[in-house]
Amino acid sequence: MVTPGALRVLFLLLLLLWASGMENSAGEPRNVCLGLINEGNYESFYLENTAGCFTKCRQSGNEPCDLKNLQRYWLKYEFHLVENQMGIVNTSFLKAVVQSVSTNISEDLFFSLTPSQVPRPVTEKEHEPPDRVRLPRSLFESLQDSSSVVRLAITLLDIGPGNLFKGPELSLEDSSSVLNNRVVGLSLGNISVSRLAEPLEITFSHQRPPSNMTFSCVFWDVTKGSTGDWSSTGCSTELSAKRTVCRCDHLTFFALLLRPILDRATVQALVRISQAGCGASMIFLAFTVVLYAALRFYRQRFKSEDAPKVHVALSISLFLLNLAFFINVGHGRERSDATCWARGAIFHYFLLCTFTWMGLEAFHLYLLVIKVFNTYFGHYFLKLSLVGWGLPALIVIGTGSANSYGHYAIRDKKNMATLELCWFREKTAVSALYVTVHGYFLITCLFSAVVLGLVAWKIFTLSTATAGKEQGPNWKGVLTVLGLSSLVGVTWWLAILTPLGRSTIYVFALFNSLQGVFIFCWFAVLYFPSRTAVSSSSGTARIDQVHTTSQE
């Protein structure tokens, strides 16, 4: 028979087991960062609870998170604000305001976006605050047919240091980040706004970015990738020293991204483009040398002409530079300091040889077209060769004696290497790099630019004088100048434009890597003219052949 005391003990044990089971069953699914527990609930408690995931959801954290659900939660919050006619929300992580706006307004609307304050209406002439949004009058006028009054929600959301609203492309490896971890939301509730005739403007104030970083205006695209990602489609970026103006043609969540100009993905893309272009150039440069050898064999006069020799010397130096580039970039980081020193010196030598021969092409062009008379030099090509191959050797010997060559890395903001190669030693050989590469390049570039400008002026003025009253574009002159441009290295001049942004870097990498293709095309056109071109060819080719023959 069971005593009352035993029954009480048994009853207590059952209660403890039940409580423990309830705790386990409730604790397991109570993971807020999976985005399901608080879904659709936007009271203060649930907002605070879900906002904790901005910190918990990190790449290295142990907290299980569903980024897609959490991001959808915050994206729907603006719809909740509009539909429930909320007025002002002011928390540590969220500042929001909902305002009724007439669709028959007479001027644009301006709202402040100061991070520490709730967004408020401001006038266009107010200088403060520097962070603001301008909503064009045409946006609301386009909605007059559907409603006389719309409710506008403006939110400032602090997304914290975690992975929420970072996206796959905003990799922590390349030091990209959302400026101040701040996202600006603009919404009219269930009214979809896109393809605005006049874009809205969001102004972000900031400090001057590092030299290797740039700003980019983006919006959150829920259709991009599996969880959504930042996109710049429909947005333009106007950069200045301490503020950036974003213009976009739709309403959603916006942010200003701070990202390296040369992040890891960009560097890899540029390397692939350069390798493909350099590979094509090497093939055509080899064709140029073979073609020159064939012409020397079949045309006796060709042996005495100096112009094709100069072209071939440039082709050989450029071929060897491309080969050194493949070896330097393709083999990654070299462990041996001596081997890396040699690779850096060889790459530097052929780069200077290429610059020098492009300068000698300009010098030769100056003698042919500008000076013309009294231009005889004994052993002309031998002297050019001594300069073309000897001067770079002296510079490399002097640079190498100062132990300037070694490991070099292109780094991002967090000092992480995006590309490693053998070049000038980091930090210790900066002056040698600027003097022997940048300075040398600028000298040859300026000289070549002056000569090419004079040659172009002479070609077009000569053709105008001989044509008389005939009007029309001088296509032969244009093509001649383009062909000569490949010889004097105009594609290298694009390097001066690379500080303007990432697009100019891509243009430089593409066109510069194809210089060998352009040289082959010019060489083939110059020495295999068509029958119609023989009698009416540009003066450059004829002078080229006559002048160089007379020098031997």
Q: pLDDT tens digits for 470-486?
A: 555 677 888 888 989 99
CA 335 to chain centre: 30
| Under 8 Å between Cβ of 334 and 344 | no
In this prediction, residue 533 has a pLDDT band, given cuts at 50, 70 and 90, of very low
Q: What backbone torsions phi and psi does residue 10 show, to the nearest 5 degrees?
A: -65, -40
**Is the pLDDT at 538 greater than 60, yes or no?**
no
Q: What is the mean pLDDT of residues 533-551?
A: 41
Q: What percent of the chain has pLDDT over 90?
A: 41
Compare 215 and 537 and report the one with higher pLDDT. 215
| Cα–Cα distance list, 192 to 79, 102, 139 (Å) | 11, 17, 11
- 3-class state of residue 51 by DSSP: helix
Of the candidates 376, 429, 367, 368, the residue with the CA atom closest to the CA atom of residue 398: 429
**CA 209 to CA 216: how far, in whole Å?**
12
Rounded Cα distance between 154 and 397, Å, is: 64
Could you give the 3-state DSSP secondary structure of residue 377? coil
**Contact present, 353 and 388 (Cβ < 8 Å):** yes
**Quick one: CA torsion of 281, 282, 286, 287, rounded to 10 degrees?**
-30
pLDDT reported for residue 62: 67
Residue 551: its pLDDT value, please? 42
Could you identify the residue written with the tokens 């590309």?
Answer: 419
User: Is the predicted pLDDT of residue 405 greater than 50, yes or no?
Assistant: yes
- 373: its two tokens: 């008379």
- Mean predicted confidence (pLDDT) in 262-272: 81
Residues with Cβ within 8 Å of 236's Cβ and at least 6 positions away in sequence, in order, are 199, 217, 246, 247, 248
Closest CA to 487 of 320, 322, 321, 357: 357
Distances in Å between the Cα of 394 and the Cα atoms of 146, 351, 352 are 78, 13, 11
What percent of the chain is predicted at pLDDT more than 70? 81
Half-sphere exposure of residue 281: CA atoms within 13 angstroms, side-chain side? 29
Q: Tokens 């103006």 map to which residue?
A: 245
| Cβ atoms < 10 Å from Cβ of 361 | 27
Residue 419 CA, distance from chain mean position: 15
pLDDT digits (tens, 9 = 90+) for 160-207: 888 889 887 665 445 678 888 999 999 998 888 888 989 999 999 998
pLDDT band of residue 549 (cuts 50, 70, 90) is: very low
List the single range of 23-32, 209-218, 462-471 with lowest mean pLDDT.
23-32
Q: Which of 39-43, 96-100, 335-339, 500-504 has the lowest mean pLDDT?
A: 500-504
Buried b (16+ CB within 10 A) or exposed e, 318-337: bbbbbebbeebbeeeebeee
DSSP state of 242: S
CA distance 357 to 348: 14
Q: What is the pLDDT of residues 80-98, one digit of tens each?
A: 888 887 788 999 999 999 9
Name which residue leads in pLDDT, 206 or 125. Answer: 206
Task: Specify whether the backbone of 500 is left (phi greater than 0), alpha (psi in -120 to 50) or beta.
Answer: alpha
Task: Give the pLDDT score at 145.
Answer: 84
Q: Is residue 313 over pLDDT 80?
A: yes
What's the pLDDT at 371? 76
Residue-level pLDDT at 429: 73
Residue 258 predicted with pLDDT over 70: yes
By C-alpha distance, which of 254, 252, 222 is closest to 236? 254
Q: Give CA angle at 181 (179, 184), nearest 5°.
A: 85
Mean pLDDT of 120-138: 86
The pair phi, psi for residue 292, each rounded to 5°, is -65, -45
Give bridge partners of residue 410 from the DSSP assignment.
419
- Is the model's pLDDT at 211 over the cut of 80? no
Radius of gyration of the chain (CA): 34
CA dist 391 to 314, 388, 394, 407, 472, Å?
Answer: 15, 6, 5, 25, 45
**Separation CA 168–CA 66 (nearest Å):** 14
The two three-digit tokens of residue 198, written as one number: 């006049």
Say if residue 316's pLDDT is above 50: yes
pLDDT digits (tens, 9 = 90+) for 357-368: 999 999 999 988
Q: How confident is the model at residue 492 (pLDDT cuts 50, 70, 90)?
A: very high
Report the pLDDT value the prediction gives residue 183, as an integer from 0 to 100.
94
Better-scored residue on pLDDT, 14 or 388: 388
Residue 533's alpha-carbon distances to 356, 403, 461, 539, in angstroms, are 31, 53, 20, 11
Q: Can you state the angle between helices 337-365 and 475-488, rounded to 10 degrees?
A: 150
Sign of CA dihedral 61, 63, 66, 69: negative
Give the contacts of 23 (CB within 8 A, at least 6 positions apart): none
Mean pLDDT, all residues of the chain: 82
